[in-house]
Structure 1
Amino acid sequence: MIETNCSLKPFNTFSIEAKAQTLFHFNDMAQLPELLDLVTKYHSENKPVLILGAGSNTLFCEDFSGLVIKVELLGVDISTSDEHYILQVAAGEDWHQLVTDCIAKGIDGLENLALIPGVVGSAPVQNIGAYGTEFKDFCESVEYVDLLTGELVVLSAAECLFAYRDSIFKHTGMSNALITKVTLTLSKQWQPHSRYGSLQNIENQEQVSAKQIYDSVCQIRNEKLPDPEKLGNVGSFFKNPVVSQQQADALLRLYPNMPNYPQNDKSIKLAAGWLIDQAGLKGKTVGGAAVHKNQALVLINQNNATSTDVILLADLVRTKVKAMFNVSLEHEVRFIGREGETNLQQVIKYVRAK
């Protein structure tokens, strides 16, 4: 189905009003020839093309002047080998529902990633992660269609170049890669990851089950994070910054209780939410946007916020944290402007000039 001059408010969890010139609902691979023709037309007119999942990590900064492809492909195929469960999952499947269904079927491993919003096709782009595990830990391969050539390509996990909240799909040259399917492998010899963060509070750690971890993760996330159906948000707005050991040591001398997590390369990951909280920004509002009062890492649409409200608030947070800690926060959310993806540094100049 194709819509024109279509509101994107229902298709982003921030519930920010913006319009797309054209919206293509891609729910069947049989639509691919039609979609490729439309993409070719828009490219020939120098108009932008955007691939959209659930809009759970997207801030529309203004109306989009081109084609938005809403990925709605569905289907889950489960097979087994001697040692693994093998899941082939279409890109439009809801991620949390996949995790829930796996736990119900006794297919364990994804429980730490419960209640992460979004669709399966977005998971490799961001290399979603929580409580000590990441998407890359279970990824076998990712299939995508190149919207320029129509070629169907399969990348191995190694070829996806996964890193912290990063992958090859976020970099130059991959903007025309529409992910259609992912293949996951989950070991039948399940090992719990229950000693990260609040999960350490689960009793009887030696006999903990995947269902217990799943339930705990859901409880923690529900307590900390607002429901997008009630308060528009995209979850964690900023990435947890990674600094040198030297900088971390200097900060720890000033703030001995500062959460810090050593990384394999001897750098130190800091908790962005803690930094924002210490800067006194919990509950801070700009227009209809606010820093969530319970979780400073989350910016919310508290009262019919505009994209400008969110942009100004995000810039305020970044500026205050930089001034107090000399740590630069990088936004996790994708900023989408009129002509395609942009970033906070670019759009704040435009907003201030208005």
Structure 2
Amino acid sequence: MSKVREGVPLRELNTLKLESQATYFLSASSIEEVRLGVMEAKKHDLHITALGGGSNVILSPVIEGLTLHLNIKGREVVEEGTDHIVVRLGAGESWHECVLWAHSKGYYGLENLALIPGSVGAAPVQNIGAYGVEIQDLIAGVEVVDGHCGETKTLTKDDCAFGYRDSVFKREVGRHWLIVSVDVRLSKQAVCCIEYPGLRDHMSDDPMSPESVLQAVIALRKAKLPDPLVDPNVGSFFKNPIVSQSFAKQLKATYRDMPQFTTHDNQTKLSAAWMIDYLGWRGVEENGVIVSVNHALVLINKSALYAPQITQFAGKISASVKATFDVTLEVEPQLIGSGC
């Protein structure tokens, strides 16, 4: 298969630094190369697995079919008004570098999402969010290639069916969409979102500006979250569970210090980190994997080679939370392949 390689190691393409091998692999740096990959996969009856920066995935030892590395670069203005601007970002761009670039140009709104690792193409998949802002708040459109036929289409925000750390791209009906670029609508006027309590507290003595928000977010993330280039990890390993208000009240009656947050649809978001920490998991190491001493939601790969070492340890943590609080933790990174 032209340009498609066989037996490609993926250790350097996942931030957990797990040993994994793609049966077939193609790094696509243009829409045309993505289409080529789709046609080759269709021709040889291969399943397509999309891979970006590898910062939110757990790769099995072998990835069957065609692993398509979406490495399309580019940043351009596609629409400009008096107060707003829409920029198109290639799927292979570094998310954090794009946040810094937009801010330097005077395009505001991404500051709360600074220092989130990974590529632009992964941002809508996970509906990344931090400090009171989610990417869905800024999406103007997502350009995709249909993995079934190679056709290009632009999806609207509604098409993406965003939810908490969720989107259509993570569901069966949308897994065939291969993201090639993302359009975000930003403000040309200085805007600041400091609704998140931890961010607001950190900035209590600082003058309010997009620059001060950006620097505060970077400082907070650096203080809490290990650099994946130094300590292999995927950031938050578990989602914060959403439960009914009535169940949350029952928990609060027993665990008075448990943090709880009301969601926009009047449910309650619990802190997975608090529950894990309460059960004494912080700093515990098994199978070459350790719970970060700085943040209980982060699992650091110290010496594990393969995905089951990660997922088995995470399973023990989940089981303890379920047994104590009757709350089910959902893994945030995507499990790719059948050996996880």
TM-score by length of 1: 0.91
What letter matches 1:191 in structure 2? V
- Equivalence for 2:336: 336
Contact preservation (8 Å) 2:22, 2:67: yes
Rate the CA distance shift 1:288–1:150 in 2: closer, same or farther, 3 A: same
Percent identity for Structure 1 against Structure 2: 37
Code of the aligned partner of 1:58: V
The alpha carbon displacement at 1:204 in A equals 5.2
Which residue of 2 is the match for residue 13 of structure 1? 15
Structure 2 unpaired stretches of 5+? none
- 8 Å CA contact 1:42, 1:49 repeated in 2: no
Quote the Cα distance in structure 2 between the aligned partners of 1:221 and 1:315. 26
Aligned residue runs from structure 1 range 27-176, under 5 A: 27-43=29-45, 47-78=46-77, 79-176=79-176
> How far 1:299 moved relative to its partner?
0.8
Contact 2:143 2:155 survives alignment (8 Å): yes
Shift of residue 338 of structure 1? Answer: 3.9
Shift of residue 33 of structure 1?
A: 4.5
Deviation per residue, 1:102-161 (Å, 9 max, x gap):
111221110000011111111111111000000011101111010211211111112211
- Residues 275-330 of structure 1: per-residue CA shift (max 9 Å, x gap): 11011111122211111111110111012443221011110010011111111000
- The count of corresponding residues between Structure 1 and Structure 2 is 337
Show the 5 A alignment for 1:259-270.
259-270=259-270
2:278 corresponding residue in structure 1: 278
Per-residue deviation, 1:205: 6.9
SS at match of 1:160: coil
Q: Map residues 104-253 of structure 1 onto 2, 5 A cutoff.
A: 104-203=104-203, 207-253=207-253
Counterpart-to-counterpart distance in 2, 1:271 and 1:42: 46
Distance, in Å, in 2 between the alignment partners of 1:12 and 1:38 is 24
Whichever residue aligns with residue 319 of structure 2, its letter is T
Question: How far off its partner does 1:206 sit?
Answer: 8.7
Alignment of 1:273-312 (within 5 A): 273-312=273-312
Shift of residue 188, structure 1, vs aligned partner = 2.6
- Structure 1 segments of 4+ aligned residues over 3 angstroms from their partners: 202-207
Secondary structure of the corresponding residue to residue 120 of structure 1: coil
Q: What's the RMSD between the two structures over aligned residues? A: 1.6
- Separation in 1 of the partners of 2:35 and 2:92? 19
| CA 1:203–1:299: 2 relative to 1, 3 Å | closer
Query: How many Å separate the matches in 2 of 1:98 and 1:202?
Result: 24
Q: 2:27 aligns with which of 25, 28, 43?
A: 25
Q: CA deviation at 1:82?
A: 1.5
Unaligned runs of 5+ in 1: 340-346, 348-354
Paired with 2:34 and 2:277, the residues of 1 have a C-alpha distance of 47
